[in-house]
């Protein structure tokens, strides 16, 4: 373990101002939607507090992926036509773009790659949720998929400096990349991502998805299936090369996670083989 690196990372995660931010409205909307008694007018009122976000949101709601062909001219229409959960997902897409759509040095991701990866994993996770009896929580799979790698944006510069040490730990100790990150730097990108979500005041289930997407069976039992869904979506997208970086495929594909979702081999292969069609859909959003 490189103590000086660990100390520098610690000082960043303990200083909330050094972690990425998203518009406050996005966190409010996310938490409002979690409340089953919420009135959609209150959500619309909250969103409209942020004029820039509202403008971009209406544009996004009219994209092929979200609109499903219906013309949407106002926030109220968006919520009524698409549903409050879909609108929440669209709000999160807009809110997290500036955080995720950038060069991520140490992971060798050029501008746009981490963003495209997040959007692809979001769509894939939502698709898997629908296939595995989690229609009611498909929006959570989407949001979780979108932001699962947010910790990489904070850790990138450190990874760049110690990349050789991390790869040596991967090769000599047969560690997955995230375990090697922790071995060398004292933290992995999942833990840093969880800290970012704490700052954003995101709910526990999303924190669990971010914190355990490479090791779904260490998450709490209540959240384990959703974490597993994002774990599988991430694996399938990485295998197809979507957002693959210097950490490559040095990750584990969890048999237990697959068993928990009940996905059969042939379903997994078909999800993988439909990646080109899914990428076409991401074009609306990225």
Distance of alpha carbon 148 from alpha carbon 152, whole angstroms:
9
In the complex with other proteins, which residue's Cβ is closer, 75 or 125?
125
Contact 171, 11 (CB under 8 A): no
b/e map of 66-98 (b: 16 or more CB within 10 Å)?
A: bbeeeebeebeebbebbebbbbbbbbbbbbbbe
Q: Does 282 bind other proteins (CB under 8 A)?
A: no
Alpha helices in 49-188 (DSSP H): 51-61, 64-67, 75-82, 84-100, 113-131, 138-147, 150-173, 177-185
In the complex with other proteins, which residue's Cβ is closer, 116 or 143?
116
Q: How far is the CB of 160 from other proteins (least distance, A)?
A: 9
Distance of alpha carbon 27 from alpha carbon 43, whole angstroms:
12
Distance of alpha carbon 207 from alpha carbon 191, whole angstroms:
9
Q: Does 235 bind other proteins (CB under 8 A)?
A: yes
Among 163, 165, 168, 284, binds other proteins (CB under 8 A): 163
In the complex with other proteins, which residue's Cβ is closer, 172 or 255?
255
Q: Does 173 bind other proteins (CB under 8 A)?
A: no
DSSP three-state, residue 85: helix
Distance of alpha carbon 235 from alpha carbon 229, whole angstroms:
10
- Those residues with Cβ within 8 angstroms of residue 275's Cβ, 6 or more apart along the chain or in another chain: 120, 236, 237, 240, 242
Per-residue binding letters, 239-268, with other proteins (x by CB under 8 A): xxxx-xxxxxxxxxx-x--x------x--x
In the complex with other proteins, which residue's Cβ is closer, 42 or 270?
270
Among 31, 56, 176, 281, binds other proteins (CB under 8 A): 176
Q: Does 238 bind other proteins (CB under 8 A)?
A: yes
Q: Does 80 bind other proteins (CB under 8 A)?
A: no
Per-residue binding letters, 85-114, with other proteins (x by CB under 8 A): -----------------------x------
Q: Which residues bind other proteins (CB under 8 A)?
A: 108, 163-164, 167, 170, 176-177, 235-236, 238-242, 244-253, 255, 258, 265, 268-269, 272-273, 275-276, 279
């Amino acid at each position: 373990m490189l103590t000086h690196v660990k100390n520098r990372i610690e000082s960043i995660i303990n200083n909330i101002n050094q972690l990425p931010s998203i518009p406050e409205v996005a966190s409010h909307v996310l938490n409002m939607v979690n409340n089953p008694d919420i009135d959609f007018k209150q959500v619309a009122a909250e969103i409209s507090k942020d004029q820039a976000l509202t403008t971009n949101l209406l544009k996004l709601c009219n994209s092929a992926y979200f609109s499903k062909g219906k013309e949407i001219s106002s926030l109220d229409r968006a919520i009524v036509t698409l549903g409050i959960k879909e609108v929440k997902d669209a709000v999160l897409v807009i809110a997290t773009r500036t955080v995720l759509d950038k060069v991520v040095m140490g992971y060798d991701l050029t501008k746009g790659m981490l963003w495209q990866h997040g959007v692809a994993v979001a769509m894939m996770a939502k698709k898997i949720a629908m296939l595995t009896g989690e229609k009611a929580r498909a929006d959570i799979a989407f949001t979780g998929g979108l932001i699962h790698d947010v910790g990489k944006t904070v850790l990138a510069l450190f990874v760049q400096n110690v990349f050789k040490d991390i790869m040596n730990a991967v090769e000599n100790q047969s560690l997955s990349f995230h375990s090697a990150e922790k071995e060398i730097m004292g933290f992995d990108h999942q833990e840093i991502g969880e800290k970012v979500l704490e700052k954003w005041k995101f709910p526990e289930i999303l924190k669990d998805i971010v914190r355990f997407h490479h090791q779904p069976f260490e998450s709490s039992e209540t959240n384990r299936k959703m974490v597993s869904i994002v774990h599988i979506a991430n694996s399938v997208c990485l295998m197809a090369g979507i957002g693959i970086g210097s950490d490559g495929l040095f990750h584990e594909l969890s048999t237990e996670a697959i068993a928990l979702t009940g996905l059969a081999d042939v379903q997994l292969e078909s999800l993988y083989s439909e990646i080109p069609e899914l990428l076409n859909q991401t074009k609306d959003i990225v």
